[in-house]
Structure 1
Amino acid sequence: MKILLLLSLVHHSIAIEPPQPFDFIEDGILKYTNHSVDPCDNFYRHVCSFGSPDSPVSEAMKDVFDFTRQNQNDSWWNQLDIITTFPMFEKNKFSTILNNATSFIEVVTKFFNSSCTHGLDTVALTQDIIQVASNLRRKKLVAKINTNETDCDAELELIRNLLTENSDNFVTTAWKLIFNFVDLAQKHVCQIRNIEDHLKVDVRRGIEATRDMFEDFSKSAKNLVKYTPWVKKQNVVKKIEKIVSELRIHDNYGEDYQTSTNMLHKLEKYYTECKLKYNVVENYELLCYIFMSSTFKLRALSNWFFPDHNAYNGHPSVYFGYPVYHHNQYGKEMATKFQLGHTGIIVGHEIGHTFFDKHDKLQHLPYFSKKVEECVQNQYNATCMEYKEHSCATTDNSLDENGADILGLHLAYKHLKSYYGERLKTKIDRLKMTNEQLFFYSYAMSFCSKAFNCSADSRMMRSATKPCHIYGSRAPETLKKINN
């Protein structure tokens, strides 16, 4: 037995050893680049061969999240009764008590009668029951509560009549009530778990570096606005500058962690006290869960911190996934705070969503150039048709994404040239490629001809249309005036 215990402890200590931080972009380049494909013929399949994972970044992050999840197995938020009890209710979600108003009323009245005969506070209980009924109808119920009433049968009849009279107006069920509640409560657990990921394999310096990058990119984008002809022509320079100045990266992980922790502790306290109070009666766990679901109005929680290789512009706040922060802290291809080839384009893309608004209804911008929209869609369509592997339906639904891609690349490449200058063509010996080439390997997109000296008749060049200058002095209306 002692040997088994020792082996268990040794296995546990090995299992929770954190993975060594690494540059997953360099790792992916070394693993998946297909050198049998000419980058000027098909750069996308050169970098991302058919044998590579669907998401090389997610594959690279797997060990990190295996570690953080295992490390959290015994964490307090996984032991909360409000979380562990719910699966028991879920097994019975089709029972009549949860999905039928009449059966639910019968259970509630039995619960009330048992509480009353045990001498419990029925005034508070009546208020809880009325609150539940109000939530089931989504309309407030009012009942006169006689605090001097000592006849349990009389009180019971009052409650039964009130619920029965209104049961036809119930627009939801007890199951939906607790399901919606636990869904919102789980989001608080998810937020704590995701923030813990950011701390266990620490990326706090990566968050700071991403914030610095974001602020620098925002300044560059703001400067472009000043010299954009279509912006000046419409007299919206100041308005767009104001919109840009509102942008900020959401990095309040300490405050968000505390908010979710406080909420979960408050819910657990209520549920525990309710069960202690009514544990002498039948179905007390379920009724207390329903009471809790009615008492606390949880709001939908934004998913500010997440493990996915993704980002989101919820103007004015912008959110980035864990891999972005990880790469900005541990990525080594640039040996600088600007990990431009990967995270730089992602940061630029999210800023681009504010600069390149929805096609059907402008949410933030007061005006946008139709010529820019046409240029972006032409480039998307030309590239897609040349390298068609799936459908190439060019619709306006993808316009803002395509525009954000191009603007994000412009911003990142602008900073790449500014930082490296003449060292842009300097070769990195361990990877056998230049700083500029690495930029495109990190995020395979446009400008590849400059880095790889593609010939004019190569597929990469044939699929290129005229450059789409979204903002800046070379935006469409300037070129038109010069040509005249």
Structure 2
Amino acid sequence: MKERLIQYRKLTTFGLKRLIDENVNPCDNFYRHACPLRSIKGRYIEDAYERKLFKLKAKTAEAVWNNLAIQETFERAHYKEFPSLHVFIAKLFQKQCETENVTTEEKGKFLELIQETWFNHKNSECVYSECLGALASDRNCTRAAELLESKLYYRPWEEFTSTLRVFFIQTENNLEGINAILDDDLREGVSNVKNIVETMKKKLLTWIQQTPWVINNEAIESIMAEAEQVHHYDNFAKTFRYNLNLLLKLEQSYLKCLRDLDDTEELRVFCMLAATNNIDFKTISMDFFTFYNAMNGHPNLYFSHLFYDMAKNVESPAALLGSVGFIAGHELSHSLIENANHPDLIPYFSNDSMQCIQNQYQTTCDNFKETSCGANDNQIDENGSDILGIQLAYSLFEDIYSEKKKDEYIRLRYNNTITNDQLFFYSLAFISCKGEPGTQNEMDPHSPWNIRINAVVQHPGFRDAFNCDANSPMVQSFNDQCVIFGENAPQTRK
């Protein structure tokens, strides 16, 4: 494993030399030819970057966003069993009320803080039952606490902590992701990914205008408009500044609250609640990250630090387009692939295209099932984005290589030659390589990787690259050619 970990700059070459099983014909089972069972414990790309990411994480151990008092309180508290928040606050008030020598004024200030936290307004702005100040004058603390509890709406402790955990994860990932990009000087990789996305988008816009089912259903303008909106998000400064300022304001509010109250565990939890009260968690998005993933948050496309690193350092354009290019094409395609029965972003999607996509994935599953798989309705978007993504990536590959597709890239053992077009498809397999059997999670919209990659037989470029004959298992698993956008797409009419 040590040798693999230091080869992250030459992932494709290393995979070709050490990973593929030359005893398995690529036309029999391409994924297990390129990525044999039990060849690795985890995912090839993640294994290769494990040490690098550990070092990046270690560098930020002392960063301000990793050393917040409010987050320390959260980490201690979120595993504890607290009652629902309204019960917790009512009991906390009762405890404060019963404190020896507490004054009415002190109780009033605490109630005002509760009021601001829960109802988001001060005493002068309160309305009817949301006015809590009068409870400070009640000497019967039990009665006052019960009335307070009745005024506060029910909110589960688990709901609050799970929301806050997501918030901390998102902000930390944004800051860590940007820091990793800058620390590794991956601006060239970011630029390469952006150029791939923009080139693909231009190509896709041309295809849309040529698509019969788009023309026949008078949907050119609306589908073009959706496609034109999509772009690669790379505003480091805006995201870094916003997330860091948000965390610092949160910390400031938390510490200010503690200065006005006794420093007990329960009051630290209350101040954590008070500090986060005005945050609209729905406005927080994860734009940058270091883990293996890419996302379409239409119209923005987001990519992992790993893919930016590969986009800078991968050995050849063929390898780049087969790996990062496919990921970019897949994410771009999410904005245009729909369930024809329930379109979301675009007004219409071809039912013929949808059926073609699902039929291919079901046929691939039938032929290459390892543990479990199937073409379910919740997978339409992902399956279609795979097919359109590979079409976009391969089209860019052809633009670059033209007559050089069959040129030798590298020579392996036994004098076996890997050509540029084969390299494209090997890179696709390596970026998804997992050594354990493919298993379908019914809640996961993604098909198992062995099915996703073997469905690449959909593309005629694969059959040509490996000279697969008509009787080979991969070709036998081919269903119908799924052209989603372009002049050869279905005619589908309403």
TM-score (norm 1): 0.83
Q: Distance in 1 between matches of 2:170 and 2:303?
A: 17
* Contact 1:191 1:260 survives alignment (8 Å): yes
Matching residue within 344, 351, 354 for 1:373: 354
Question: Does residue 420 of structure 2 align to residue 439 of structure 1?
Answer: no
Deviation by residue 1:115-170 (Cα, 9 ceiling, x = unmatched): 648x86x66543212234548xxx98532758xxxxxx963649876652242454
SS in structure 2 of the partner of residue 171 of structure 1: coil
Deviation at 1:405, TM superposition (A): 1.1
Q: Distance in 1 between matches of 2:354 and 2:241?
A: 43
SS in structure 2 of the partner of residue 40 of structure 1: coil
* Contact 1:131 1:295 survives alignment (8 Å): no
Deviation at 1:299, TM superposition (A): 3.9
Question: Does residue 88 of structure 2 align to residue 103 of structure 1?
Answer: no
Q: Percent same amino acid at aligned positions?
A: 28
Q: Distance in 2 between matches of 1:314 and 1:95?
A: 35
User: Does the C-alpha gap of structure 1 residues 330 and 49 become closer, same or farther in structure 2, counting only changes over 3 Å?
Assistant: same
Which residue is equivalent to 2:188? 205
How do residues 266-415 of structure 1 correspond to structure 2 at under 5 angstroms?
266-279=249-262, 284-294=267-277, 296-299=279-282, 301-334=284-317, 339-415=320-396
Which residue is equivalent to 1:43? 30
Which residue is equivalent to 1:155? 137
Question: Does residue 450 of structure 2 align to residue 475 of structure 1?
Answer: no
SS in structure 2 of the partner of residue 425 of structure 1: coil
Deviation by residue 1:377-404 (Cα, 9 ceiling, x = unmatched): 2222222222221334332222222211
Deviation at 1:345, TM superposition (A): 1.1
Question: Does residue 478 of structure 2 align to residue 464 of structure 1?
Answer: yes
Deviation by residue 1:230-271 (Cα, 9 ceiling, x = unmatched): 111111111111111111112122211111111111111122
Which residue is equivalent to 2:173? 190
Deviation by residue 1:395-422 (Cα, 9 ceiling, x = unmatched): 2222222211111111111111111111
Deviation at 1:101, TM superposition (A): 6.2
Deviation at 1:47, TM superposition (A): 0.2
In terms of mean alpha carbon deviation, does 287-296 or 365-374 score higher?
A: 287-296
SS in structure 2 of the partner of residue 39 of structure 1: coil
Deviation at 1:223, TM superposition (A): 0.1
User: Does the C-alpha gap of structure 1 residues 283 and 421 become closer, same or farther in structure 2, counting only changes over 3 Å?
Assistant: closer
User: Does the C-alpha gap of structure 1 residues 125 and 471 become closer, same or farther in structure 2, counting only changes over 3 Å?
Assistant: same
Letter in 2 for 1:61: Y
Q: Distance in 1 between matches of 2:348 and 2:182?
A: 42
Which residue is equivalent to 1:63? 51
Q: Distance in 2 between matches of 1:182 and 1:382?
A: 41
Q: Distance in 2 between matches of 1:258 and 1:65?
A: 23
Matching residue within 113, 126, 129 for 1:128: 113
SS in structure 2 of the partner of residue 304 of structure 1: coil
Gaps of 5+ in 2: 121-126, 430-455
Q: Distance in 2 between matches of 1:42 and 1:290?
A: 54
Which residue is equivalent to 2:408? 427
Deviation by residue 1:40-92 (Cα, 9 ceiling, x = unmatched): 22211110111322411111111111111111222222221111222333464
In terms of mean alpha carbon deviation, does 210-219 or 462-471 score higher?
A: 462-471
Q: Distance in 1 between matches of 2:153 and 2:265?
A: 24
Matching residue within 2, 15, 20 for 1:28: 15
Which residue is equivalent to 1:222? 205
Letter in 2 for 1:40: C
* Contact 2:167 2:284 survives alignment (8 Å): yes
* Contact 2:208 2:220 survives alignment (8 Å): yes
Letter in 2 for 1:254: A
Q: Distance in 2 between matches of 1:37 and 1:171?
A: 60
User: Does the C-alpha gap of structure 1 residues 277 and 115 become closer, same or farther in structure 2, counting only changes over 3 Å?
Assistant: farther
Deviation at 1:189, TM superposition (A): 2.7
User: Does the C-alpha gap of structure 1 residues 144 and 463 become closer, same or farther in structure 2, counting only changes over 3 Å?
Assistant: closer
Deviation by residue 1:175-222 (Cα, 9 ceiling, x = unmatched): 754664454244323321232222223322211111111010000000
* Contact 1:309 1:321 survives alignment (8 Å): yes
Letter in 2 for 1:164: E
Gaps of 5+ in 1: 1-17, 147-152
User: Does the C-alpha gap of structure 1 residues 475 and 282 become closer, same or farther in structure 2, counting only changes over 3 Å?
Assistant: closer
SS in structure 1 of the partner of residue 308 of structure 2: helix
Which residue is equivalent to 1:259? 242
Deviation at 1:342, TM superposition (A): 0.7
SS in structure 1 of the partner of residue 302 of structure 2: strand
SS in structure 2 of the partner of residue 22 of structure 1: helix
TM-score (norm 2): 0.81
User: Does the C-alpha gap of structure 1 residues 378 and 95 become closer, same or farther in structure 2, counting only changes over 3 Å?
Assistant: closer
Say how many residue pairs are matched: 448
User: Does the C-alpha gap of structure 1 residues 59 and 470 become closer, same or farther in structure 2, counting only changes over 3 Å?
Assistant: same
User: Does the C-alpha gap of structure 1 residues 395 and 128 become closer, same or farther in structure 2, counting only changes over 3 Å?
Assistant: same
Larger radius of gyration: 1
* Contact 2:111 2:132 survives alignment (8 Å): no
Q: Distance in 1 between matches of 2:296 and 2:263?
A: 51
Deviation at 1:20, TM superposition (A): 8.0
Q: Distance in 1 between matches of 2:297 and 2:101?
A: 50
Q: CA RMSD in A?
A: 3.2
Q: Distance in 1 between matches of 2:333 and 2:23?
A: 35
SS in structure 2 of the partner of residue 355 of structure 1: coil
Which residue is equivalent to 1:74? 62
